[in-house]
Structure formats: structure tokens, C-alpha cells
Amino acid sequence: MMEPEAPADDAGIAAAIAAAAARGEPLSIMGNASKAPMLRPVQAARTLSTRNLSGVTLYSPAELVLAARAGTPLSVLEETLAGHGQHLIAEPPDLDALLGTAASATLGGAVAANLSGPRRVAWGAMRDHVLGMRAVNGEGTAIRSGGRVLKNVTGLDLCKLIAGSHGTLAVMTEITLKVLPASESTGTVAVLGVDAASGVAALAAALGSPYAVSGAAYLPAEAAASVSALAGLASGPGIALARIEDFTSSVTYRCERLAAKLGRFGSIRQIEDGTSRPLWQAIRDVMPLADRPEAAIWRVSVRPSAGPALAAVAAALGARWFLDWGGGLVWIAAVPNAATHRTISEAASAAGGTWMLLRAPDTLRTAVPVLPPLSPVLDRLTRRLKAAFDPMGILNPGRMYAGI
Amino acid sequence: MIALPEPKAAVLARRDAILSDLARLVGPGGLIADRHCLRVYESDGLAAYRQPPLAVVLPETTEEVAAVLRFCHEGGIRVVPRGAGTSLSGGALPLADAVVVGLMRMNRILAIDYADRVATVQAGVTNIGITGAVAEQGFFYAPDPSSQLACMIGGNIAMNSGGAHCLKYGVTANNVLGLTIVTIEGEIIKLGGAHLDAAGYDWLGILIGSEGQLAVTTEVTVRILRAPEGTRAMLAAFRSNEVAGACVAAIIGSGIIPVALEFMDRPAIHACEAFAHAGYPLDAEAMLIIEVEGSPAEQDGLLARLGEIVGRFDPISLRIAATAEESAAIWKGRKGAFGAIGRISPDYLCMDGVIPTSELPAVLQRIGEMSRQYGLGVANIFHAGDGNLHPLILFDANDPESMAKAEKFGAEILMHCVAVGGCLTGEHGVGVEKRDLMPAQFSAADLDQQRRVKSAFDPDWLLNPSKVFPLNPEPPVIRAA
């Protein structure tokens, strides 16, 4: 691959895209390429990177607003926010360990992939907190959507559409986010020795409680054993974990109440702040699956109560797996072949959910769909929408769907 | 007044044939064609604009909606979707040649699942109806627009409705997991479901808040949340808007996100007090209602922290509710605000701009200057945590000059909101009301991109026409590869 073109300003991005559109030549779009192993590989002779669009352009802590150029590393944003006791609400993961990359994930990439961590179950996805953006469409035209205020219903919300479109509709150059105060303390209530069905039932009880649970995961014993923060706690089939983030006095009170509520599901341990933080970071970053470099990784989202059935399908394949989002997010690491893919994707679709083949060897990810195939009507709408932004089809073609 | 497009003469000429076809599609009971009955649908919450439609259909199923849209698409007939008709921006204003598709008969709750914390309802269920259906189990549906007793979830989807509690719980788009929509071509599409992060492009994200421009929603799957143990409010009164604004910044900066943070200026305080006798401080220039939630002890802790912060801003008075009843008394005036304003003025326009919260004092000062200049009173109610400003402009709709001045005053406020870094609308939508102001906020390229998305869904621009986008230029044509 040629060295990517990496302009230092929006005008440079627009010029590069306009030139590619004039030639009808596809472009592979990236920040620092931390997500290159995700989804389908893009067939393009040229690469356009936003990595030189870097830096925070607006930060107003008292207004809960932060704007940064798309190539700004997430780590820089996290540091900036921590300096004022705030954080990124959706807790986007660092997938370097999982994807075998050593790249510094950028804001643009996190928004383009709409990747969220455990807090998503309570506080929304990455796309939920995008207030505004500047972007360049597939004709090289700079466009703006949204703004810098927390509430805005003026016109069509192109921000949400472009977020999660994996660089196939427009190239984001600057993104404005809602941010929130980071909690003073984090506590975890663990239910030990439960199978997936009772674990997810315990998580449903936790999420259905008035205690504002902000993380709800189930780790089978094998996955739990790989998380050092859980050392000594793995017993029986697995462990259910419910997180509370708030002022210290509230965390203490709510963890007590939650422990009492969940006692009927299994034996209870409370995990204090110092251990809770690395524990949830490990879950966020999918660390329980990171030591399987030979495996393919599926990310399945179903209604939470369907999680245990998906887990059983994974277990029958000999896969490593665990559940987040109250049971609804099923992470699976299994043998990278088409038969395994068919089993997992069909089970996810049959449960009414969705799936993504997040990581796989090129031979597999070019041979099978990496996202649920589109119905004929949605295929038509997807192509029309793509054409509305990128009529020449030059931005990340084939990244999500073959031929789009 | 805002211009509406000329009706299509060919459609008007075919009225009788169209009516008999529609009666066949939705049954005679589902069609309203009588000219007197059509008057009921001539307007919405923006009552200054009135136009009876060609006909109203009241389908009972998604399939009937699909049949009507397919028929209208084939005949080049414009369609105006309608929920309860509570739009304050004219989002459901009919056109003379349009068929109104009213969703009020689709009012069934289809499924409630507490373990997965979701409910699926038809588009004509009211906002409060969802909470009402799950309240017994201690759950609620979070977005709570002021019109929640009447407004329907389908309309909430169209407008991406907010409410007083969205600083903490988000707006409609943050609380919806699945939709069943019907395209103008009459295709039924199910999007998302009971799971998080629906597949493919963010269809939910673009559809929610699209003001009926892209498709008609018939079913909705929403997240339901467990209610907190309790809530309690406090009231703080200040000597100036500046001081109250600084106090808001200090509260947010402290790490506390109150579940509600409402600001009222002096005219709003006086109007509400005269109406509701809530004991509001009449000597104050500005007042905050701050609400927290949690157990009684957690509420005590948060209210004590907030009381300490407020104390630094030289408050005229500080009233912390000790009980739920005392909280209700604090809210009483604010919740009756619209009625209160109605009592002191024959009519009012409720504006809906958003500003960066730090701009509040300067913006209120500017609005005061405009008020003197136009000779029209204004009271300001503000969702202070998220910057959503509701100036209520007092005027007399029977006096055309007063009405014209009020519209101009409102437009000037909104332009000022954009000029200080805000936007035209935070939760009411663009509708017809703010359509012609869109170029103040968006460049031609920005608007063209939005219009192309509209064309991708609705190539002939038959869905809710003449709203959101300025009437010119001609709709763009999308040719998919």
C-alpha cells in the first residue's frame, strides 16, 4: 500500500476527495488505521488519512461540550477531559490488543465505527453524543451538520448517519461531542458461581433496579480467569458483574442495596473502586478474547434475554465468549471459517438481533458478509443514500457491503 | 406569513375519484372527506396557520398505511403525516391538495418486556400512555415534552422530542431501539428491534427528527427505564440573570448533573405566580428550579451540595423541598407556565432556540432590548442545563400588525441564537415556522446534502412538503449506482 495522503487541514481533505472523484478512483479512508482489520478490506490504490487533523478546538466544561479535529487520538481527549473531572460518555474501547494493532485510535475512527463500551447500556452509544460535525462528502464538498449545543433538531441529523457509516458516506474532519462529569467513584457487585441464564437474570434485576447501574457483564469462568482484576473470584460456571458509578456515598449505598437484591442469584462479592476501574476497562477493551490471535471475532447484539442462548451456540462451537450490556452484547472468538460464521450469524438473526464479523483473516472477510445482508428494499435505500453522499462510490467502497 | 406551494390542479380536479379510492383502501370509517369535518385537521399547535386538506385517512394497520402511501405515490398526491397535531412549528399543517395520514387509531401497546426493558407500541400511543402502561412496575419512558398528555410517540419520532429531563435522560433519538416505517413507495421496513445498535447505516438516527420528510412511522420500540427511588426539587432566586447564569455554570462544573435545571426570568416568574400562587419570589430577577433524584439520603446529600453552591451566588432566597409535596409546590408554577402566559396575553408565540449556556445573560439582555423595540412583552423559560431557550412572545392574533411584529421578533431572536453559536430549534422542529430561516444556520452545501437525503427516501418530494427546507431550489435527483 502506498503511504497515505494525510492533509493537515479540511481544505486538503476536500481537495484530495475532489481529485479522486474527478478520476473516479476509490479511496481507502483512515485515521491511524487502528480499525483496518475490522469489517471488509477496501480495494483502493490510494489512502486518505485524517491523522494530521489533530487537536481540541473547543472545550467548555461548564457547557459539557468538547470539539476536536477527527485525527485527535482518543487518549488525548481522555487526558484533556480528565483534567476537568469529565469523560467520554460512551466509553469507547481501545481495541489494539484485540485487533493486534499498535495504533493510537482517533476520535474520527471511534465515531465512524460507533464503538461504545459497557456504559452504552445505560448512557447511550458514541453516536448519541455527537452534537455536530464538519465532514467532506464524496464529491469533495465540505458540509456541516448539528452544532455545539446540547439540544438541536434543526434539519436532518446527518451526524448520526455519518457516525457509524465507517467512512463510506463522508470523511469527518471535526467532531463536537457532549461530555459529562466522570463519577467520583466506581463500585461493582459480583454474583459468583452462576451460569449464563441466572447471570443474565441477575443483570436484568440490576438494570431494572432504581440504582442506576452503568455496566452489566457476564463472564464465564474461562473468560473471567483471563481478567487479573477478578483473580480469586472465579468459581463455578461464571460471574455476573454490575457496576455503579456516582459520588462515593451513593456508590456505597447503592452497592449495598444491589448486593441485597442480587443475593438470591448466587454468592455476592463487592469490588471496590481501585479494582473496579481496571476490571471494566478490561471488559471495555474485550481483553477476555484478546489472547486468541488465530480466532475470528464476532460482535453480536441481541435482546439481553437472548444472550445466554447465543452463548450456548458459541460454547457448542468451542468458542471463547462473554456477555456485556446486560447480556445483549455477545463477544465471540471462534475458528475463522465460513461454517462457524454461518452458525453464529444465523443464530443472531434468528434471535432478532444483529451481528458484525469484527475481525477475520482476509480470506474469510472477503468471502462472507461481515454485516447482516440487506433486504431488497433496504439494499435499494442503502444504495440511494450512498449515492446521495458519494455519487461516484469512491469513499471506502466495499467496507460494509460488497459492491456498496 | 410563510408561503405554501400552489396546490396541484390535476389532483384537486380528481378529488372525487381519489376519495373513493381511499375509502376502498381504509374503509369508509377510516376516511374523512366532509368539508366541515376536515376543518378539525386544518391546523396544529401553530394555530396561526390554517389549511383544510384534500382528505384525511385514519388507517388502523401498517398495511393500510402502506396501501395509502403506495396509492398517493402512484398518483403524485402529497401526504402529510399527523399524530395528535400538537406541533408548535406547523409540522402537521395540511396542504389543500394533500392527504393527511392520521395515526390516532393506531393506539395499541403491542408488547412490554421488563426483563429486556423495552416496550413496542403503535405510533398513535400518547407519550404519557407509554409511561402509564409501565408505571405499575416502577418503570417510565424518559422523554417528557410539555404536551405529553396529548402528543403521540409517532409525532415524537418525527420531531425528536425532548422535555425538561433530557439533560440526564436524553431526547427521543437516545431512547428508541426500533421502528417500523412505511416509505412513500409503500414499502414496509422494520429497523432495529429490542437490541442496541441496529445494523447498517443509522436509519433510526436519520429518521428520528426528520419531521415526516422521509417516511411514516407506524410502530416504535422504546427503552423503558426503572424510575429512581425518588426526586426532590429546590428553588433558588437571584438578583440578576448574570448571577443565575453563573450559578448554572458552577453547578454543572461541580460534577452534579441535576435531573432538571429550569430557569425563569422576572416576567415568567410574575406570570406564573399570579396564575399558580406557588410562592415564587417576586423580587427576584431570575429563578432556578433544580431537581435531583435518588434515595432520601442521596437527595439530602445532593441538595446540601447544591445549596452550598447556590449560597456562593448571593441568592435572595433558597427553598429546599423536604417532601414530595413541597417539590410539587415548587414545580406548580413552572408546569402551569403556558396557561399562566395565556392569562396575561390573548396569544403568545412559543419560541425554541438553543444557545451555549454561557451566553444566557447576554442573550436575555438582547431579547429585552428587542422587546422594547417591538413593543411586545416577552417571558423567558429556559432548560438551563442544555441551553434550550423558550421565549414566549405576547401578542394579539386578532391584530394583524401585532401578529406580524411577533413573527418578526421571534425570527430575530432565533437569528440571534444562531449568531451566538446556537441553533434555530431545540425540540419543536423546523416545520413551516422556521423553514425560511434555515439558510441562517446552514450553508447552501449543508442544505443541499440534507435535501439529497430527502430525495433518496422520497424522490418526488411528496412527503410533508413545504416544511423544513426552503421552497427553492428544485429538489435534487439521486441516481444510485
Domain boundaries, chain A: 1-182+373-404, 185-284, 287-365
Distance from CA of A231 to the nearest CA of B (A): 30
CATH 3.30.390.10 given to domain A185-284: no
The answer to whether A361 touches A336, Cβ cutoff 8 Å, is yes
The answer to whether A44 touches B233, Cβ cutoff 8 Å, is no
Distance from CA of B348 to the nearest CA of A (A): 22
Residue ranges matching CATH 3.30.465.10 in chain B: 110-226
User: How far apart (Å, rounded) are the C-alpha atoms in residues A337 and A295?
Assistant: 9
Among A330, A341, A342, smallest CA distance to A305 is for A330
List chain B residues with CB under 8 Å of A161.
201-202, 205-206, 453
For the record, the C-alpha cell of A399 comes out as 467496507
Q: Which residue of A has its CA nearest to B182?
A: A377
Nearest-Å Rg of the Cα atoms of chain B is 23
- Write down the pLDDT at residue B477: 87
| DSSP conformation class of A303 | -
Residues sharing a CB contact under 8 Å with residue B1, sequence separation 6 or more, in sequence order: B49, B407
For the record, the C-alpha cell of B271 comes out as 406570570
Residue ranges matching CATH 3.30.43.10 in chain B: 9-102
- Which of B113, B116, B309 to mutate against chain A (most A CBs within 10 Å)? B116
Among A349, A402, A388, A386, smallest CA distance to A165 is for A386
Answer yes or no: do B213 and A60 touch at CB < 8 A: no
* Coil vs helix vs strand at A190: strand
Interchain contact B183–A (C-beta under 8 A): yes
Q: Which CATH architecture has domain B110-226?
A: 2-Layer Sandwich (3.30)
Burial code (b: 16+ CB inside 10 Å, e: under 16) for A284-305 equals bbbbbbbebeebbbbbbbbbbb
User: How far apart (Å, rounded) are the C-alpha atoms in residues A342 and A391?
Assistant: 33
Which one has a higher pLDDT value, A386 or B255?
A386
- Secondary structure element (H or E) that encloses residue A58, with its range: strand A56-60
**B427: pLDDT strictly greater than 90:** yes
Answer yes or no: do A63 and B423 touch at CB < 8 A: no
- Write down the pLDDT at residue B473: 81
Interchain contact A85–B (C-beta under 8 A): yes
Confidence class for position B478, pLDDT limits 50, 70, 90: confident
**B481: pLDDT strictly greater than 60:** no
Mean pLDDT of B283-291: 96
Answer yes or no: do A249 and B423 touch at CB < 8 A: no
**A1: pLDDT strictly greater than 70:** no
Confidence class for position B259, pLDDT limits 50, 70, 90: very high
- Write down the pLDDT at residue A289: 97
**B475: pLDDT strictly greater than 90:** no
Q: What are B113-168's pLDDT values in tens digits?
A: 999 999 999 999 999 999 999 999 999 999 999 899 999 999 999 999 998 888 88
Burial code (b: 16+ CB inside 10 Å, e: under 16) for B22-43 equals bbebbeeebbbbeeeebeebbb
**A98: pLDDT strictly greater than 70:** yes
User: How far apart (Å, rounded) are the C-alpha atoms in residues A282 and A159?
Assistant: 29
At residue B49, φ and ψ (nearest 5 deg) are: -105, 130
Q: What are B320-377's pLDDT values in tens digits?
A: 999 989 999 999 998 888 888 888 898 999 999 999 999 999 999 999 999 999 999 9
Mean pLDDT of A33-40: 94
**Nearest CB neighbour to B427, from listed A153, A161, A164:** A153
Interchain contact B426–A (C-beta under 8 A): yes
Interchain contact A377–B (C-beta under 8 A): yes
Distance from CA of A244 to the nearest CA of B (A): 13
Cell numbers 481527549 correspond to: A77
List chain B residues with CB under 8 Å of A382.
200-201
As a whole-number percent, the residues of chain A with pLDDT over 90 amount to 97
Interchain contact B346–A (C-beta under 8 A): no
User: How far apart (Å, rounded) are the C-alpha atoms in residues A172 and A158?
Assistant: 11
Mean pLDDT of A369-380: 97
Residues sharing a CB contact under 8 Å with residue B314, sequence separation 6 or more, in sequence order: B238, B239, B243
Cell numbers 481522555 correspond to: A78
Q: Which residue of B has its CA nearest to A64?
A: B252
Q: What are B159-216's pLDDT values in tens digits?
A: 999 988 888 899 999 999 999 999 999 999 999 999 999 989 999 999 999 999 999 9
Q: What is the DSSP string of A220-232?
A: EHHHHHT-GGGTT
Interchain contact B308–A (C-beta under 8 A): no
Residues sharing a CB contact under 8 Å with residue A71, sequence separation 6 or more, in sequence order: A31, A32, A49, A50, A51, A52, A53, A54, A106, A107, A108
- Which CATH class for the B231-337 domain? alpha beta
The answer to whether A109 touches A142, Cβ cutoff 8 Å, is no
Provide the number of CB pairs (under 8 Å) joining chain A to chain B: 265
Mean pLDDT of A112-116: 97
What CATH topology corresponds to A1-182+373-404? 3.30.465
Cis peptide before B7 (omega within 30 of 0): no
Tell which A residues from 88 to 147 touch B, by Cβ distance under 8 Å: 114, 116, 120-121, 124-125, 127-128, 137, 141-145, 147
Mean pLDDT of A308-331: 98
Interchain contact A292–B (C-beta under 8 A): no
List chain A residues with CB under 8 Å of B297.
253
Among B59, B50, B57, smallest CA distance to B95 is for B50
Among A159, A134, A158, smallest CA distance to A71 is for A134
Q: CB B196: neighbour CB atoms within 10 A?
A: 23
The answer to whether A331 touches A322, Cβ cutoff 8 Å, is yes
CA distances from A59 to A9, A102, A179, A313, B20 (A): 20, 28, 10, 46, 60
Q: Which residue of A has its CA nearest to B161?
A: A153
- Which of A153, A171, A207 to mutate against chain B (most B CBs within 10 Å)? A153
Q: Which residue of A has its CA nearest to B422?
A: A149
Mean pLDDT of A92-111: 94
**B80: pLDDT strictly greater than 80:** yes
For the record, the C-alpha cell of B197 comes out as 445498535
Answer yes or no: do B255 and A62 touch at CB < 8 A: no
For chain A, the maximum distance between any two Cα atoms, rounded to a whole number of angstroms, is: 66
Interchain contact B440–A (C-beta under 8 A): no
Confidence class for position A153, pLDDT limits 50, 70, 90: very high
For the record, the C-alpha cell of B258 comes out as 441535576
Three-class DSSP labels, chain B? CCCCCCCCHHHHHCHHHHHHHHHHHHCHHHEECCHHHHHHHCCCCCCCCCCCCCEEECCCCHHHHHHHHHHHHHHCCEEEEECCCCCCCCCCCCCCCEEEEECCCCCCEEEEECCCCEEEEECCCEHHHHHHHHHHHCEECCCCCCCCCCCEHHHHHHHCCCCCCHHHHCCHHHCEEEEEEECCCCCEEEEECCCCCCCCCCHHHHHCCCCCCCCEEEEEEEECEECCCCEEEEEEEECCHHHHHHHHHHHHHCCCCCCEEEEEEHHHHHHHHHHHCCCCCCCCCEEEEEEEECCHHHHHHHHHHHHHHHHCCCCCEEEECCCHHHHHHHHHHHHCHHHHHHHHCCEEEECCEECCHHHHHHHHHHHHHHHHHHCCCEEEEEECCCCEEEEEEEECCCCHHHHHHHHHHHHHHHHHHHHCCCECCCCCCCCCCCHHHHHHHCCHHHHHHHHHHHHHHCCCCCECCCCCCCCCCCCCCCCCC
- Write down the pLDDT at residue A340: 98
Answer yes or no: do B453 and A161 touch at CB < 8 A: yes
Q: Which residue of B has its CA nearest to A89?
A: B168
**A10: pLDDT strictly greater than 90:** yes
User: How far apart (Å, rounded) are the C-alpha atoms in residues A350 and B405?
Assistant: 59
The beta strands (E) that lie in A75-115 are given as 86-87
The answer to whether B141 touches B126, Cβ cutoff 8 Å, is no
What CATH topology corresponds to B9-102? 3.30.43
Answer yes or no: do A165 and B202 touch at CB < 8 A: yes
**B1: pLDDT strictly greater than 80:** no
**B480: pLDDT strictly greater than 80:** no
Residue ranges matching CATH 3.30.70.3450 in chain B: 231-337
The reply to whether A185-284 and A287-365 are identical in fold is: yes
- Which CATH class for the B345-435 domain? alpha beta
- Write down the pLDDT at residue A2: 66
Interchain contact A389–B (C-beta under 8 A): yes
**B7: pLDDT strictly greater than 90:** yes
What CATH topology corresponds to A287-365? Alpha-Beta Plaits (3.30.70)
The answer to whether A218 touches A322, Cβ cutoff 8 Å, is yes
Distance from CA of A327 to the nearest CA of B (A): 9
Q: What are B214-231's pLDDT values in tens digits?
A: 999 999 999 999 999 999
Interchain contact A339–B (C-beta under 8 A): no
CA distances from B356 to A71, A208, B124 (A): 25, 35, 34
Question: First CA to last CA across chain A, in angstroms?
Answer: 22
User: How far apart (Å, rounded) are the C-alpha atoms in residues B259 and B257?
Assistant: 6
- Write down the pLDDT at residue A180: 96
**Nearest CB neighbour to A352, from listed B194, B202, B210:** B194
For the record, the C-alpha cell of B231 comes out as 426526586
Distance from CA of B90 to the nearest CA of A (A): 14
List chain A residues with CB under 8 Å of B356.
60, 63, 65, 148-149
Q: CB B319: neighbour CB atoms within 10 A?
A: 18
Among A371, A375, A363, smallest CA distance to A300 is for A371
List chain A residues with CB under 8 Å of B453.
156, 158, 161, 385, 388
Q: What are B457-474's pLDDT values in tens digits?
A: 999 999 999 999 999 888
| Strands A46-49 and A27-30, bridge-based pairing | parallel
